[in-house]
Structures are given as C-alpha cells and as structure tokens.
C-alpha cells in the first residue's frame, strides 16, 4: 500500500480549516467515556493513539490521559506537534511500530481504513496489544462492510481571504474485494484564484465477523457501540454513515 497521500502531507493544512472543534469534542468525548467505562480497576492514565493525524482528537484526549501519538505522514505530524506540544509524537506504521512501552489504553479512532488487507488489520491489532498493559483497553473505530454504503460529502472552510471546498466520494468497487475507494477533490480559492487538487485512496472494508475474529485471535474480550452523528451533516443529498466502535480488554 502507498505510504504517501497529498491529503496528509502538502494538503494537511486544510484539516484545521475544515475541522469543527465541537464535532471533535463530541466524538473524542465518546471515546474517552467508552475507554473509562470499559477499563477494569484503576482509571486509565496513559493512552497510545495510533494514526493520530493532525492531533485534533488529542486536544480532547490529553485532558484525560498522558497521550503518545503515532502517525505515518510527516505533514500530519507537523500539524499535531504544533497543536499539541505537550504530546509526544512518533513517525511510524501502526502495523509494525514498537515503542518499548506499555499503556493503559490504545486508541485507533480515525485511521483503520488504511488497513487495506486482513494481514494489515491483524498486524495493527497485534501492535496495539503489544503496547497494552494487562487489563488495558483497545478502542477501534471501524466501518463494517454490512453498514457501509456509497456516499458523497461536501466540506467547506474560509479564513483570511482563502476559501476551501473539499468534495469526497466514497465508492465500493465491486472489482476490488474488501476495499472501497475515497476520492478527494480540493477547490482552493485564494484572492480569487482557483487551484484544484485531487487524491485517490484505496481503503480497507471488512465484515464485522473479520473484526471480531481479529480481536479474538489477539486475546481480547470485545464489546461494541454505535456512534452516529459525526459525518452525516456533510453527506450530499442525505444518507447515513454509522460508525462501529469496538472496545476490547487485554486478558
């Protein structure tokens, strides 16, 4: 799989222009409560965030945990470090990185789509487990194949004479098993001048049974919760975008 995506490097700056802080408060708050509610014994104090992106979730996570972040894209890491100087970030691949530390919780809330094969999925879950203390919590946000559907999204932002529109198309390609495509079109207008950028990602799309098996094989007891209302308002012509959040305990 490709390790370089313009959306997460030279276009990483668009994240802040499009992000709604209130939306991240709601989503990340949901994850915090689930982690604390799932944990056995003492309240979790340390969190490893795999696929930490531009650090938007960490703005909330760090109020509750000592956070360590891992991401593969230099552009996103630059934004995250600037936003959260009190968080330690590492450049690395969630399928293989080993930090030599144990955490009370590991979260993968926003990047499991980039696990394109079942081997990728199993390796990422094993990475998480390797970094968990006994009794620690793994939280993963997924889009199971059973509930996923084709959708088109529109996001906009404006600041200091710059106007940005991002159009995203999600498409389940029937010729590529266990994947879907996300195509991004950026319309950037600065002082009235238009530039257009595109990015194409092939992403993993697995059944709920596959997710459950990955957790079982890693020795995790698992529960699941539904998360609604994060992306629905961006869908063009209506639609739904349910997220399934899996939480597992390391035995």
What's the burial of 198, exposed, middle or buried (CB within 10 Å: 0-12/13-18/19+)? exposed
In 3D space, the residue among 116, 109, 105 whose CA is nearest the CA of residue 182 turns out to be: 116
222 and 121 in a single domain? The answer is: yes
124 and 185 in a single domain? The answer is: no
pLDDT tens track for 69-101: 999 999 999 999 999 999 999 999 999 999 999
166 and 215 in a single domain? The answer is: no
pLDDT-derived band at 1 (thresholds 50, 70, 90) equals: very low
pLDDT tens track for 110-146: 999 999 999 999 999 999 999 999 999 999 999 999 9
User: What is the per-residue pLDDT for 239?
Assistant: 79
| Angle CA 124–128–130, to nearest 5 | 115
In 3D space, the residue among 46, 60, 52 whose CA is nearest the CA of residue 105 turns out to be: 46
Lowest mean pLDDT among 13-22, 105-114, 145-154: 13-22
What would the two tokens of residue 203 be?
């992403």
End of a domain among 202, 217, 241? Answer: 202
Mean pLDDT rounded to a whole number for the chain: 94
**Dihedral angle at the C-alpha atoms of 123, 89, 73, 158, nearest 10 degrees?**
130
Residues 69 and 47 sit within 8 Å (Cβ to Cβ):
no
- Rounded to an integer, the average pLDDT of 217-236 is 92
55 and 101 in a single domain? The answer is: yes
Radius of gyration of the chain (CA): 18
CA–CA distance, 194 with 168 (Å, rounded to integer): 18
Domain assignment of residue 1, yes or no? no
Q: How many domains does the structure of the chain reveal?
A: 2
pLDDT-derived band at 16 (thresholds 50, 70, 90) equals: confident
Query: Residue 165 belongs to what domain range?
Result: 151-202
User: What is the per-residue pLDDT for 2?
Assistant: 53
96 and 136 in a single domain? The answer is: yes
Helices (H) and strands (E) in the chain, counts: 6, 11
């Amino acid at each position: 799989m490709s390790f370089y995506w313009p959306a997460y490097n030279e276009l990483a700056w668009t994240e802040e222009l499009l992000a709604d802080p209130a939306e991240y408060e709601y989503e990340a708050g949901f994850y915090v409560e689930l982690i604390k509610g799932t944990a056995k014994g003492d309240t979790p104090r340390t969190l490893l965030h795999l696929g930490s992106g531009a650090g938007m979730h960490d703005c909330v996570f760090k109020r509750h945990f000592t956070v360590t972040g891992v991401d593969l894209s230099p552009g996103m890491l630059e934004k995250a470090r600037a936003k959260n100087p009190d968080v330690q970030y590492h450049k690395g691949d969630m399928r293989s990185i080993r930090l030599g530390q144990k955490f009370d919780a590991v979260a993968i809330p926003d990047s499991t789509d980039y696990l394109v094969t079942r081997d990728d999925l199993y390796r990422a879950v094993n990475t998480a487990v390797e970094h968990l203390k006994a009794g620690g919590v793994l939280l993963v946000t997924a889009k199971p194949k059973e509930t996923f559907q084709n959708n088109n999204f529109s996001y906009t932002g404006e600041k200091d004479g710059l106007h940005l529109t991002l159009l995203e198309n999600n498409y389940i390609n029937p010729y590529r098993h266990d994947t879907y495509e996300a195509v991004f079109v950026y319309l950037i207008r600065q002082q009235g001048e238009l530039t257009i950028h595109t990015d194409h990602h092939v992403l993993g799309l697995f059944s709920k049974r596959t997710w459950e098996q990955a957790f079982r094989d890693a020795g995790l007891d698992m529960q699941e919760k539904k998360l609604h209302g994060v992306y629905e308002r961006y869908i063009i012509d209506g639609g739904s975008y349910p997220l399934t959040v899996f939480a597992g305990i390391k035995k």
